[in-house]
Amino acid sequence: MPTSAEPPRTIERKIYLDRAIFERELETIFTRTWQYVGQAAELGALGDFLSATIAGQPVLILRDEQRRLRAFFNTCSHRGAELTSGRCGNTGRALRCMYHGWTYDLQGRLTGVPYREAYGARFDAQAYGLKPIRVETFAGMIFVSIDPEIDSLERYLGEAAPYLKKYCDNQEVIGRIRWTYDGNWKLWHENFADNYHPEFTHHWVRDAQFGYANEGENRQLDPGHGLLTWPQQPLHLDRLAAGLKKASGLEVDPTKNPEYDFPPFAIDEAEPDVVLTLFPNFDLQYFFGGAVVILEVETPLAADRTMVEMLSLAPIGEPEQARRWRLERSAGIQASSGKISGDDTEALARCQRGATVRAVPLSNLERGQARGKIGQARDEYSLRSFYAEWNRQISAG
Amino acid sequence: MDSEAAEKRIQIEDLLVRYARLLDERRFPEWIELFTDDASYSAITRENLQDKGLLLFKDDGREALKERAAFVMGYYQAARFRTLHTVSNIEIGPSSRDETACSSYFVIYRSPWNGPPELHACGEYRDRLVMIGGGWKFRERLVIVDNGALPQNFTELP
């Protein structure tokens, strides 16, 4: 089990801006980590595929004839065209490049080259198969890595593995929402690893979840992961009404808003609410005893531009009423449209702009002074865990 | 088209245009009055509409609409910006005298204080309208957002 370097207590703000550091992140961190791409349940049939972009490079994951998952760089060996279009689909029993018709089987072997005789007798089709990348699944989740030497997924998940299995096992995707923001990818991931901000950034948390994070824990999970847990909060709709009125002048009665009705299935209120952050760019939210399970992955587009994709998950084969509730309600606080997340992108955009100030080069990461890996809910062991691993990976050869 | 149908079409177009203006002028209490007491206002991306139906949000009833208005009237800390909603391609669907389906296209621009207008979203409104007290109101409005990716601040009402 790799041990993290001493967790840093400051962040140099230039890491949100500097293009050389951004390029280095693609070469090191995004190349040498496991990257979540989707749920195994999305690839049910022969030839089903998902595409993704890892370290700026297109990849393809598919289900072959033996029901195995295969993953490749999504580039034709001939002239480089991507073999598929769109986020997902079905390619049948072969991948055929739309450009010159070169064809590959689902194991990536080159099986068809139109007018092959022009290449002469020495043309070696075996050398022109698709370049495979590593693919593994854990708890029904598909991860890939473009580093052929990377450790197994389970070893990489480290101390986070049991939590991922507990909170996310065997779910299917019920919907996806994407948004972009003008900020560095690390800012969004940090936002998850941070339980200090919600009651200040989000008036809805301050009011409807009064007492948020007064109890709970903040944990470093090796290597580079984090776990935030806090007790489920009963909703304080009276405080919400007062807050809405103070901000807007409107008299609102949230008790008459079906958004705040209980879901049509039992919730174990003793279960804590959970955020699990995996290094480098994966974030899981598990709320109301699993009534809401949300995954987010940050894709770096540029040092100051990021795409976030949010997936809402649900148990495979759940009853129709429960499914309908999740489809209607699970994303209401999420995404750049959400009652909570709508404020997060504001905070991050401001941090990105403020980071340009050369005279103030450092950010503070000191919450939680006790040694060790576990602190109180609003501490920053989870953030320091991330940056210890970030430092280690970015300086590796 | 007979004169009753023409009159109905004009009234419905006026409703759709008024919806846009009230939002752009931030006249939220009047905007709420465009909906019936039991109305449903929800939004979805085109991708999710064609997949399993995951909504961006769902507001059922007057109190839910008031809460959403309160968010954009100061409860959010996310920045406010000027919007411009245009509506076009209006099609009145199968209808009775007092109820009708309606669909239209929308394009929303946002105008930051320090730059030219930007495309915010485009898509389709799918409505069920009812005639109440001499005027048409929304009983249901589904906002279908074509965006494959939302902008960083999608808190203004679509």
Classify domain A34-138 at the CATH topology level: Rieske Iron-sulfur Protein (2.102.10)
Confidence grade of residue B117 (pLDDT, cut at 50, 70, 90): very high
Residue B158 lies in a domain: no
Interface of A with B in 326-385 (CB under 8 A): 326-332, 335-339, 342-343, 345-347, 349
Domain A160-395, CATH among 3.90.380.10, 3.40.50.2300, 2.40.50.140, 3.30.465.10: 3.90.380.10
Beta-ladder partners of A112: A103
Pairs of CB atoms within 8 A across A/B:
146
Could you tell me if residue B154 is inside a domain? no
Q: What is the pLDDT of residue B5?
A: 87
B151 within a domain of the structure (yes/no): no
Q: Which residues pair with A230 in a beta bridge?
A: A273
Cα-to-chain-centroid distance, residue A115: 44
The answer to whether B154 and B78 are in contact (CB under 8 A) is no
Quick one: DSSP state of residue A25?
Answer: H
| Bridge partners, residue A72, by sequence | A60, A132
Contacts within 8 Å (CB) and 24+ apart, B35-39 = B35/B62, B35/B65, B35/B137, B35/B138, B35/B139, B35/B141, B36/B130, B36/B132, B36/B137, B36/B138, B36/B139, B37/B61, B37/B62, B38/B139, B39/B65, B39/B137, B39/B138, B39/B139, B39/B140, B39/B141
Backbone angles phi, psi at A313, to 5 degrees: -110, 160
Q: Is A35 on the interface with B (CB under 8 A)?
A: no
Rounded CA separation A110/A116 (Å): 12
Structure confidence at residue A397 (pLDDT): 67
Pair A290, A270: CB distance under 8 Å: no
Q: What is the pLDDT of residue B92?
A: 96
Q: What is the 3-state secondary structure (H, E, C) of chain B?
A: CCHHHHHHHHHHHHHHHHHHHHHHCCCHHHHHCCEEEEEEEEEEEHHHHHCCCCEEEEEECHHHHHHHHHHHHHHCCCCCCEEEEEEEEEEEEEECCCEEEEEEEEEEEEECCCCCCEEEEEEEEEEEEEEECCEEEEEEEEEEECCCCECCCCCCCC
Residue ranges of domains in chain A: 34-138, 160-395
Distance CA A190, CA B8 (A): 53
For an interface test with B, the pick among A305, A336, A348, A351 (most B C-beta atoms closer than 10 Å) comes out as A336
What residue in B sits closest to A344 (Cα-Cα)? Answer: B78
- CA dist A9 and A391 (Å) reads 12
Tell me if B156 is assigned to some domain: no
- Do A175 and B51 meet the contact criterion of CB atoms below 8 Å apart? yes
Q: What is the mean pLDDT of chain B?
A: 96
pLDDT tens track, chain A, 397 positions = 334 457 889 999 999 999 999 999 999 999 999 999 999 999 999 999 999 999 999 999 999 999 999 999 999 999 999 999 999 999 999 999 999 999 999 999 999 999 999 999 999 999 999 999 999 999 999 999 999 999 999 999 999 999 999 999 889 999 999 999 999 999 999 999 999 999 999 999 999 999 999 999 999 999 999 999 999 989 999 999 999 999 999 999 999 999 999 899 999 999 999 999 999 999 999 999 999 999 999 999 999 999 999 999 999 999 999 999 999 999 999 999 999 999 999 999 999 999 999 999 999 999 999 999 999 999 999 999 999 999 999 998 6
Residue A4: per-residue pLDDT: 47
H/E stretch holding A153: helix A153-157
How far apart (Å, rounded) are the C-alpha atoms in residues B152 and A349?
Answer: 9
Q: So what's the pLDDT on residue A1?
A: 33
| Closest residue in chain B to residue A309, using alpha carbons only | B149
CATH number for position B23: 3.10.450.50
Chain B contact probe: residue of A53, A204, A252 with most B CBs at under 10 A:
A252
d(CA B64, CA B149): 26
Give the pLDDT confidence score for residue B48 in this predicted structure.
98
HSE-CB at A110 with a 13 A cutoff on CA atoms is 19
Q: Which of B51, B76, B151 sits opposite A175 (nearest CB)?
A: B51
* Average confidence (pLDDT) over B107-123: 96
Which residues in chain A have Cβ-Cβ distances shorter than 8 Å to B73?
247-250
Pick from B145, B150, B157 the residue to mutate for testing the A interface (most A CBs within 10 Å).
B150
Taking only Cα atoms into account, the Rg of chain B, rounded to an integer number of angstroms, comes to 16
Taking an 8 Å cut-off on Cβ atoms, the answer to whether A256 and B67 are in contact is no
Q: Do A177 and B60 touch (CB under 8 A)?
A: no
Q: Tell me if A11 sits within 8 A of A359, measured CB to CB.
A: no
Contact assignment for B69 to A203 by CB distance below 8 Å: no
Domain that holds residue B41: 3-145
Q: B108 and chain A: CB distance < 8 Å anywhere?
A: no
Which one of B67, B148, B155 has the shortest CB-CB distance to A178? B148
In this prediction, residue A53 carries a pLDDT of 95
B71 touches chain A (CB under 8 A): yes
Q: Which residues contact A304 (CB under 8 A, 6 or more apart)?
A: A16, A17, A182, A183, A184, A352
- Residue pair A49/A90 in contact (Cβ under 8 Å)? The answer is yes
Tell me the average pLDDT across B89-93. Answer: 96
Concatenated DSSP letters of A277-311? EETTTEEEEEEGGGTEEEEEEEEEEETTEEEEEEE
Strand A141-145: give its sheet, edge to edge: A35-39, A141-145, A134-138
Overall average pLDDT of the B147-156 stretch: 96
The amino acid occupying position A240 is: L
Tokens of A361: 């080069």
* Cross-chain CB nearest to A342 (options B63, B66, B153): B153
Tally of domains in chain B: 1
- Find all residues with CB under 8 Å of A121, minimum gap 6, and list them: none
